[in-house]
Amino acid sequence: MTIANDHQAVRVTDMERSTRFYVEAFDATVLTRPFVIEGDFAEAMMGGPPGVRFRIRHLRFEQGVVELFEFLEPVVRAEPAHGSRASILHLGFRVDDVDATVARVLDAGGRLLLPVTAWGGARLTFCADPDGNVVELADASIEQLVTATVAAFPEAAPDAPDAVA
């Protein structure tokens, strides 16, 4: 059986603004025009409420896809949740130049949450898109970041390479 983490979906309040942000900051390619999901399928997909309607747009990155979701009904202002209350904490992007990408994020309307930090030979930071969705930027692979994490926190090492605690 093949299982791959293929895409993530984020809630946005302005589809066009968010599209511009991800295109300008991260060179995203627009895969779809916004399309509306409604009716029974939308209600089942979101677990309600009755009458829920939303628009979706797909954006491709060098690796992976992000779906932007903009709710049309009900229109409820989504305040970014504090990390301890959010279900999805951040998107993670590997970039070749963290500082240059931070500059692009800021120019595109995002904000820096953490100064660029060294982590086990890598450099990383956290920033936010215009809706407050958190994005991690690192100049290393997740495997390299995990290796650095285990070096800093030996108790995080699994008992065996494929062990599940």
Q: Do 63 and 96 fall within a single domain? A: no
How far from 150 is each of 24, 95, 145, 160, CA to CA, in Å?
Answer: 34, 22, 9, 13
pLDDT of 33-70, one tens digit each?
Answer: 999 999 999 999 998 899 999 999 999 999 999 999 99
In a domain, 27, yes or no: yes
pLDDT over threshold 70, residue 99: yes
pLDDT of 100-141, one tens digit each?
Answer: 999 999 999 999 999 999 999 999 999 999 999 999 999 999
Question: How far is Cα 133 from Cα 9, in angstroms, rounded to an integer?
Answer: 11
What domain count does the chain have?
A: 2
- Confidence class for position 5, pLDDT limits 50, 70, 90: confident
Can you give the pLDDT at residue 48? 84
Domain that holds residue 32: 1-74
Who has greater pLDDT, 76 or 41? 41
Q: Do 7 and 59 fall within a single domain? A: yes
In a domain, 8, yes or no: yes
Q: Under DSSP, is residue 28 helix (H, G, I), strand (E, B) or coil?
A: coil
Question: How far is Cα 7 from Cα 58, in angstroms, rounded to an integer?
Answer: 9
Average pLDDT, the chain: 91
In a domain, 161, yes or no: no
What residue has token string 């030979």?
121
115 preceded by a cis bond (ω within 30 of 0) = no
In a domain, 7, yes or no: yes
Question: How far is Cα 116 from Cα 30, in angstroms, rounded to an integer?
Answer: 28
In a domain, 44, yes or no: yes
In a domain, 36, yes or no: yes
Q: Do 9 and 67 fall within a single domain? A: yes
Q: Under DSSP, is residue 90 helix (H, G, I), strand (E, B) or coil?
A: coil
Q: Give me the numbers of helices (H) and strands (E) for the chain, helices first please.
A: 4, 9
Mean pLDDT for 20-43 is 97
Do the strands 91-94 and 134-138 form a parallel or antiparallel pair, or are they unpaired? parallel
What residue has token string 């990390």?
83
Q: Do 69 and 116 fall within a single domain? A: no
Contact present, 123 and 139 (Cβ < 8 Å): yes
In a domain, 62, yes or no: yes
In a domain, 55, yes or no: yes
Last residue of a domain, one of 23, 39, 74: 74
* pTM (global) more than 0.95: no
- Confidence class for position 84, pLDDT limits 50, 70, 90: low
Can you give the pLDDT at residue 90? 92
Q: Do 66 and 127 fall within a single domain? A: no
